[in-house]
């Protein structure tokens, strides 16, 4: 079993403990550590990207999908969702590249071809 230096649960408990102190600002670095530990896998970054995409925070979504792809270059869904974010930002060249990458991994995806065609129209 692999143990991380900062367990998420321990870090969150420490952060909550610091919040009860007179200077809650002390908890900020621990909360930052908890966020880094929580988003340590490609799936975590992907889920974070989907959430940000749904919230309309497109640049943050792209950054999360970038990290997911960096950790797993074969992560087809991350390419597809990053393509959606680029499309919404009207960055059609980047979106098209991501849709093509998604199609490379999923050649039978009708949605990917549809999104690709929308980019080509724009």
Cα separation of 67 and 26, whole Å? 28
Domain annotation covers residue 6: no
Domain annotation covers residue 3: no
CATH number of the domain to which 63 belongs = 1.25.40.10
N residues, the chain: 122
Task: Quote the pLDDT of residue 60.
Answer: 96
| pLDDT per residue rounded down to tens, the chain (122 residues) | 344 544 555 555 555 555 555 555 545 565 555 555 544 689 999 999 999 999 999 999 999 999 999 999 999 999 999 999 999 999 999 999 999 999 899 888 878 777 777 777 77
Domain count, the chain: 1
Tell me the CA distances in angstroms from 48 to 26, 42, 53, 67, 82, one per residue in order: 25, 10, 9, 10, 12
Domain annotation covers residue 65: yes
Are 71 and 52 contacting, i.e. CB atoms less than 8 angstroms apart?
Answer: no
Report the predicted TM-score, pTM, of the whole model to 2 decimal places.
Answer: 0.65
Task: Quote the pLDDT of residue 46.
Answer: 96
Domain annotation covers residue 1: no
The range of the structural domain enclosing residue 71 comes to 37-121
Domain annotation covers residue 69: yes
Domain annotation covers residue 27: no
């Amino acid at each position: 079993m692999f143990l991380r230096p900062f367990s998420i649960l321990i870090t969150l408990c420490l952060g909550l403990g610091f919040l009860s102190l007179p200077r809650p600002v002390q908890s900020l670095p621990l909360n930052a550590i908890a966020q880094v530990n929580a988003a340590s896998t490609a799936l975590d970054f992907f889920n974070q990207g989907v959430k940000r995409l749904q919230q309309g925070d497109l640049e943050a979504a792209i950054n999360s999908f970038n990290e997911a792809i960096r950790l797993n270059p074969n992560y087809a869904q991350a390419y597809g969702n990053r393509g959606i974010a680029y499309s919404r930002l009207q960055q059609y060249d980047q979106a098209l590249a991501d849709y093509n990458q998604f199609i490379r991994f999923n050649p039978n995806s009708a949605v990917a071809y549809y999104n690709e065609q929308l980019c080509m129209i724009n």
